[in-house]
A = this chain, B = another copy of it.
Amino acid sequence: METGVPSTGNLSHDACWELLAAGIVGRLALVVDGHPEIFPVNYVLERGSIVFRTARGAKLWEAEADEPAAFEIDGYDPRQEEAWSVVAKGGLAVISSQEEKDAADALHLEPWQPGVKGHYIRLTPRALTGRRFKVNRPDLWNTRANDARRSSFE
């Protein structure tokens, strides 16, 4: 019976989903006019896919094609002195059904930037990979990482 959480190395498929389920912010990477775009999104998991709302890149969302995207989350566990990351790759699809939008809203989906309604987008992962490893310099991670993430404007 696999626990889903090896102490270090590649993460199992289940461990990746567990981490995705625990998070609220990820970063989406897209190709726009041949150039990489990256931006943070709030997301929820719904029906085995990653759902988010955004007002950005309207041209892209209007495309009928299955736009290729990569989505990333990461974190640091100070007690284990371990960093981890999960990357999901797949195609994007615009959600047009009100029922599906309501399902996402019921899971407390909020857009990264409040007040902007935008589009509801679904990323269905075709590939899901994750890594976890001991960091070399926990002193840096414990201080600077937490400073940056928790109280950058002191």
Knowing A114-B133, A152-B75 touch, does A87 contact B38 (C-beta < 8 A)?
yes
Query: Complex formed: what's the CA distance from A27 to B27 in Å?
Result: 8
Interface size class of A (residues with CB under 8 A): 35 or more
Report whether A85 and B39 are in contact in the complex, using a CB–CB cutoff of 8 Å.
Answer: yes
Report whether A38 and B31 are in contact in the complex, using a CB–CB cutoff of 8 Å.
Answer: no
Report whether A75 and B148 are in contact in the complex, using a CB–CB cutoff of 8 Å.
Answer: yes
Q: Out of B25, B80, B153, name the residue touching A80 (CB < 8 Å).
A: B153
Report whether B37 and A75 are in contact in the complex, using a CB–CB cutoff of 8 Å.
Answer: no
Report whether B72 and A38 are in contact in the complex, using a CB–CB cutoff of 8 Å.
Answer: yes
Report whether B114 and A70 are in contact in the complex, using a CB–CB cutoff of 8 Å.
Answer: no
Interface string of A16-52 (1 = CB under 8 A from B): 0001001111010111001111111000000000000
Interface status of A68 (Cβ within 8 A of chain B): yes
By a CB distance below 8 angstroms, the chain B residues around A31 are 31, 34-36
Report whether A22 and B114 are in contact in the complex, using a CB–CB cutoff of 8 Å.
Answer: no
By a CB distance below 8 angstroms, the chain B residues around A87 are 38-39
List the 3 shortest-distance A-B pairs measured between CB atoms, nearest first.
A29-B29, A29-B38, A29-B36
